[in-house]
Amino acid sequence: MMTTLHLKLPSSTFPFTVTQCCSNPKEPSYGRMQAASINGNGHAAGAYPASDLLNPQALVMPPPRPRRIILVRHGQSEGNVDESAYTRVPDPKIKLTEMGKAQARECGQRIRKMIEGDGGDDWKVYFYVAPYKRTLQTLEHLGQAFERSRIAGVREEPRLREQDFGNFQDGQKMKLDKAKRIVYGRFFYRFPDGESAADVYDRITGFRETLKADIDKGRFQPPGKQNQNVNLVMVSHGLTIRVFLMRWYKWTVKQFERLHNLGNGNMIVMERGYGGRYSLLVHHSEEELREFGLTDDMLTDQEWQKHAKIGELNYECPMLNSFFPHLENDTAVAERTHEECSHF
């Protein structure tokens, strides 16, 4: 169904007609939400401000968000089966085992089956990959599930690399360092000559801003297309994936420290919900997410993400109580608070 909008402009501008498709009730109205201005209460103040009507570019529908962001941990590596490998081989050069290659191929098939389950025939996959040997090999074998016509592009992204543990590792010293990390705290402990999870968080923050800009500009879209069925796949490392999710959903340090690594060759899926935001609960069950380490509050927030629209703020954010314990039994907290709990 097509709707024709006749816009009456000042005589100094040329007359024109804008034709747009009516939104599918099953799909979020991305254009209207992203073109809208957001007021202080997190609601759209108006689809098109009057001043924008003088600029035809302001009426161009922004590109749809990718349907999914799929985070994949590399397959089993030589270091996963023999930690002494890190004492003689640089971490970036650690390779996959034969089992790791098989895990990657199987993961690729699972991703393809998931995407094909959408029922669309125009789907594409765009890949990000960390620059380590084991992630590049994982992409190579995972990618065998996709013919060229399905691959929208690929980008090597150094900010998705593994946490830096130093250079060649001393096995005995590393055991002591990991024991210290448990006492000091898994997020803040920095390995000598290496990184802490907090350091990884800083570089993932920069990557997230790049990713957001790429999504907003439609850089994953085929030329001249508005494809709703583009999927992003990021091939990375266990801790990096946990930190990426922490940064995206604004989880606390305490919540991060509850999380577990994905198994080798496994994935966690952020899928577009009813309002256009990404939620882990669209693809995964509550049981799967609890096993990964999500708490009741985190699951409640994921349910909100599943239904909320782009630009909305969660003024009933359940994680508020973790900062203000005295509000735990206050049923009116959502009405009284103006604390912001926003998510991209």
74 catalytic per annotation: yes
Q: Which residues pair with 4 in a beta bridge?
A: 19
Side-chain half-sphere of 186: how many Cα atoms within 13 Å?
A: 13
162 catalytic per annotation: yes
Each residue's pLDDT tens digit, 116-162: 999 999 999 999 999 999 999 999 999 999 999 999 999 999 999 99
- Whole-model pTM: value is 0.79
**Residue 75 in marked binding region:** yes
C-alpha span between 281 and 269 (Å, rounded):
9
Whether 39 shows a pLDDT value over 70: the answer reads no
Whether 103 shows a pLDDT value over 70: the answer reads yes
**Residue 37 in marked binding region:** no
**Residue 74 in marked binding region:** yes
Site of tokens 């009057």: 50
The residue among 162, 176, 169 whose CA lies nearest residue 88 is 169
Active-site residue, selected from the candidate residues 74, 237, 284, 343: 74
The residue among 235, 243, 158 whose CA lies nearest residue 200 is 243
**Residue 80 in marked binding region:** yes
Tell me the one-letter amino acid at 173: K
pLDDT at 48: 42
pLDDT at 181: 92
Active-site residue, selected from the candidate residues 162, 195, 271, 312: 162
Each residue's pLDDT tens digit, 47-57: 444 555 555 55
Cβ-count burial 242-270 (b if 16+ within 10 Å, e if not): bbbbbbbbebeeebbbebeebebbbbbbb
pLDDT at 87: 92
The residue among 140, 161, 159 whose CA lies nearest residue 96 is 140
pLDDT at 15: 39
Percent of the chain with pLDDT over 90: 65
The residue among 265, 201, 284 whose CA lies nearest residue 72 is 265
**Residue 27 in marked binding region:** no
Helix, strand or coil for residue 44? Answer: strand
Mean pLDDT across 157-182: 91
C-alpha span between 159 and 130 (Å, rounded):
7
**Residue 6 in marked binding region:** no
**Residue 173 in marked binding region:** yes
pLDDT at 44: 37
pLDDT at 54: 58
Each residue's pLDDT tens digit, 242-295: 999 999 999 999 999 999 999 999 999 999 999 999 999 999 999 999 999 999
pLDDT at 131: 98
Q: Which has the higher per-residue pLDDT, 124 or 332? A: 124
**Residue 79 in marked binding region:** yes
- Straight-line distance from the first to the last Cα atom of the chain, in angstroms, rounded to the nearest whole number: 31
Whether 40 shows a pLDDT value over 90: the answer reads no
Q: Which residues pair with 44 in a beta bridge?
A: 38
The residue among 319, 307, 228, 291 whose CA lies nearest residue 220 is 228
- Average pLDDT of the chain to the nearest whole number: 83
Whether 342 shows a pLDDT value over 60: the answer reads no
pLDDT band at 330 (very low <50, low <70, confident <90, very high): low
Each residue's pLDDT tens digit, 179-238: 999 999 999 999 998 999 999 999 999 999 999 999 999 889 888 888 999 999 999 999
